[in-house]
Amino acid sequence: MFDMGFTEVVLIGIVALVVIGPERLPGVAITVGKYVGRLKRFVTNVRSDVESEFKTDEIRKLLAAQQEELSSLKDVVSEAKKGLDMSGVAKSIDDSMASVLGKSETEKPVEPESTLEQSPSEPTVSLEKNAGAESTTPEVVPEKNKSAS
């Protein structure tokens, strides 16, 4: 702040000794030292507050730039989702599965109506007695497709 050399400090000390006197000079020196210390701490605090405000402004600008970039990336992703035709991908997968399983392309898989019912592809077990058989044996009877009837 102030640039004071050794000669200036000695000159101020001699003038203070002559003006104040040797009896009160030590008390005045202690009081002046306390005020100078408080002034230095105040200046340091003000300087750190100003620097932190500048840093806060820089961080706010950086955050705004990052949010602009994030919103532009979100726009790009949403445009990419719009451009992607999922129905064509699903049909392609269905066709591939049908050709692997040996089904014709015109045959569509039947979805079960409820998760609690037995699916059409699972066989039902019937415990009917055969007329000519002595014991009851379980017989596997395929269930008919509900949507076909």
pTM of the model: 0.38
Residue 132 located in a structural domain: no
Q: Are 126 and 138 in contact (CB under 8 A)?
A: yes
- Residue-level pLDDT at 1: 52
The string of pLDDT tens digits covering residues 84-134 is 666 666 777 888 888 787 754 445 555 555 444 555 555 555 555 545 545
Residue 148 located in a structural domain: no
- Residue-level pLDDT at 120: 52
pLDDT surpasses 70 at 59:
yes
Residue 39 located in a structural domain: yes
Domain total in the chain: 1
Residue 46 located in a structural domain: yes
Q: Mean per-residue pLDDT for 21-31?
A: 91
Structural domain range at position 27: 17-83
